[in-house]
Each structure stands twice: as C-alpha cells, then as structure tokens.
Amino acid sequence: MLNNSDIKALNEKGFFNSRFADAQPTFTANNIGMPAGILSTLSPQVVENILAYRTGDEALGKREKLLDWMADAYYIPMVEREGQTTPYSDYGSPLLAGMNVNFNQTGHYRFSTKYHYANLEAEQIGGAKINYADMLISATSEAIAVELNRVAFNGYFDNTSTKFICYGLLNNPELENYQTFTKAFSQMNWQEVMGEFAKAIGLLVTQSGNNINGQSKIRCVISATLFTRLQALYTDLGISVYETLLKTYPKMEFVSAIELDKAENGKDVVYFIGESLVGGIAESTKFGYSEIALMGNVVQTDYGYSQAMSAGTCGALIYKPSHIVRFKDA
C-alpha cells in the first residue's frame, strides 16, 4: 500500500506527468464494440403474413368431393317433368306425362404448387427457432387454399382454349342478371334497407314458385362493405338493421365476403340463396372438388428435397337457379 511519502517520491520521478498519462497501452487493441447480435433478443413468437379471410365454402354452403382426379368433366343430370291432363272420358285418350333430360357440364381444373427443402437454409432458419419444414408445408397448403377460394367466386379461365374450365359464383351463366338497388346503399335509411331485403325475398317467392319465402332458410352472401353498413345503421329504437333483419327473417344467415366488393362493374353486390328440399337435392349451390391436398413424390436433390401438392375443382355448382337472386349497388 502506498503512503504519502511513496506517492511524493513517485511524483518527483515524473510518474504523474502528462507524458505518462497520454501514453497508449501496448498490450491490447482499441475497443471495437460488441459483436453484432450479442446485445439483441430474438422473439420466441413467429409472425406470419396475414391473408384475406376466405369464405368460398361458406358462400356456396358446402364443399364436397364430387369427382375423381382422373375425370376431365363433371355432369349434372337435369330432369324436367312435364305433362298435361284432359277431362275423363271412357272413350277418351289421355295426354301423356313424361320428362326431358339434359346434362349440365363443367370442366375439371387441376393445379399444383410445391416446396423445396434446402439443408443449409433449414439449419439457419432453425437457429431462429422456426420450424422450417412445417412452415414450408403450411405455405404450400395456403397457396392451394387461396386458389380454391378464388375459383369458388371467379372460376378458372383457360387462356389457351380461351374459355372457362369451370365457373364461380360471381360469373356462373346459370344465374339471372343482377337487380339494382333503388338507390346507393350508403344513402339508404333503415326503412329503405328493410324494403330492399323485402323486395329480394319477394323475387325469390315469385322465381321459386313460393318454394322459398320469408320463413325459408336463406343465405345472404353480401359484400364486406355493405355488411359493415348493415351493422352500423340503426333503427329508431336503437337496434342495428343487421339484428332487425335476423328477427324479421329468422332462418337467414349472413356471409360477409370481400370478393363481393366492387364485383360487378365496380359495384358491391349481394346474393340471396334460398334452400329447400324440392328438386331432389337439398342444396341450391355447392363447391365441388376432386382433391384438395394431393401430395406428389418426394424428389431428392443434392442438398435437400422437393415435393408438389395438387388440387382439383369443378368450381361453383348451381343446382337451383330459381332459388337465387342477386343485387348490385346503385
């Protein structure tokens, strides 16, 4: 331990002069800072990209496997029963009753995507606590699901043959033309909105021969923008128009679909799809498919492997056009 006399002796020898204080040490390099990443923290939660909510199956009511992967087309037999009567007579000849049979055809749209598993990339991404293989398969499945949903609404147009292989809900030729709301939906008060819904139900009654009415099961597939308006518009009693419609038409269900925003010449649209047991089938519409995740062979590469995933669909099937009316905004 240094005492005062020791410090005084060192000072006299110049140990505390500026020339010693300014000297640079020779036993280590200048401080270059901490290596990148040492002072960072990696979140244990992985954030995935967010895609639009898919409502194709809900809009069409049901997804069902209807054809085999090898089939090129799907046929729907349409039977029209007809007959006439005459007054009875022991000597008369009654008129015949019979049927006409036609077959509606839709094509089979097959499509594929694939993922590639790379060994080095798998280790690097795994270092971030991300399940590399699961994410690749998830991305592949997501791509298939997005395309199936797109076809449910818009069908598939083949540029080579310049024709639709299959149709979607929005462009199906089986449907009648759009009706137009009396005025812009955004400008309607609650009574006017209720009036437009009543008009739509009235058209269903007439068009279906009263097989669909206000007490029937009706699926209202509506533009996401217009649905928001239904929820934000209130009656004089402070009840939303959406709640009022559900009370007025107890079997009506709503499907909000962003695909219906600006779907017809830049206008938002609404579909009213009635369901009944008449016609030999319960559903008025359906989304048909052959496969939704058909896995291909695993193909080995030098430093990993790849695998394809495929799906097939015959699009939106319209069994009862008379049970559907559609409107576009004014």
In tens, the pLDDT along 24-80 reads 555 556 666 667 666 677 677 777 777 778 999 999 999 999 999 999 999 998 888
- The residue written with tokens 């812009």 in the block is 184
The residue among 73 and 8 whose pLDDT is bigger is 73
Q: Specify the higher pLDDT residue, 43 or 119.
A: 119
DSSP string, 161-197: TTEEEE--GGG-TTSPPPEE-SS-GGG--HHHHHHHH
pLDDT of residue 25: 53
Within the chain, strands assigned E span: 63-65, 73-83, 97-107, 109-118, 156-158, 163-166, 179-180, 217-223, 252-257, 269-275, 285-301, 304-318, 324-328
* Mean pLDDT on 109-124: 96
Q: Three-state SS for 260?
A: helix
Q: Percentage of residues in the chain with pLDDT exceeding 90?
A: 75
Structure confidence by residue, pLDDT tens digits, 262-313? 999 999 999 999 999 998 888 999 999 999 999 999 999 999 999 999 999 9
CATH homologous superfamily, domain 56-80+102-328: hypothetical protein PF0899 domain (3.30.2320.10)
Chain mean pLDDT for the chain: 90
pLDDT value for 118: 96
- Alpha-helical regions (H) of 18-118: 18-21, 56-60
How many CA atoms, within 13 angstroms, populate the side-chain half-sphere of residue 104?
A: 16
Residue 264 DSSP class: B
Helix, strand, coil distribution of the chain in percent, nearest 5: 30, 30, 40
pLDDT at 259: 97
Is 49 buried (19+), middle (13-18) or exposed (0-12) by CB count in 10 A?
exposed
pTM of the model: 0.84
pLDDT value, residue 234:
96
pLDDT of the residue at 20: 47
State the Cα–Cα distance between residues 99 and 80, nearest whole angstrom. 5
Q: Are 64 and 287 in contact (CB under 8 A)?
A: yes
d(CA 217, CA 325): 14
- Stronger pLDDT, 28 or 123, i.e. the higher one: 123
User: Are 115 and 134 contacting, i.e. CB atoms less than 8 angstroms apart?
Assistant: no
- Where does the pLDDT of residue 318 fall: very low under 50, low under 70, confident under 90, or very high at 90 and above? very high
What is the arithmetic mean of pLDDT over 237-259?
96
Percent of the chain scoring above 70 in pLDDT: 87
**Residue ranges per structural domain of the chain:** 56-80+102-328
In this predicted model, what pLDDT tens digit does every residue of 178-229 receive, in sequence order?
999 999 999 999 999 999 999 999 999 999 999 999 999 999 999 999 999 9
From 237, 241, 260, select the one nearest 252 (Cα to Cα): 241
